[in-house]
Amino acid sequence: MAKKRTFAAKLAHEIGTEGKQICPNCDIEIKRVKVLRNKKRGANNWSPAVTFQNICKCNEGDIFSVKTSMQ
């Protein structure tokens, strides 16, 4: 039980709005976004994989181009 509570606390901390992360490169707030990725496991075999990505000015172009090319 103690372990579960610790995990929940960690999760709440990570997705909470307090403790914002500012990118040292572009000085913009880093946003945590859910990204759906195509996890290929073969020619006709794939499964979606949901990952969380930290996005700021440095990599938002990369992230969004990946997203649109997948649709």
Least Cα distance to 30 among 21, 40, 18 occurs for 21
- Quote the least distance from Cβ 26 to Zn ion, whole Å: 3
Per CB under 5 A, does 33 bind Zn ion?
no
Residue from 33, 35, 37, 58 touching Zn ion (CB under 5 A): that is 58
User: Within a 13 Å sphere around the CA of 16, how many CA atoms are in the beta-carbon half?
Assistant: 9
Rounded to a whole number of angstroms, the minimum distance from the CB of residue 67 to Zn ion is 18
In the complex, minimum distance from the CB of residue 24 to Zn ion, in angstroms, rounded to a whole number: 8
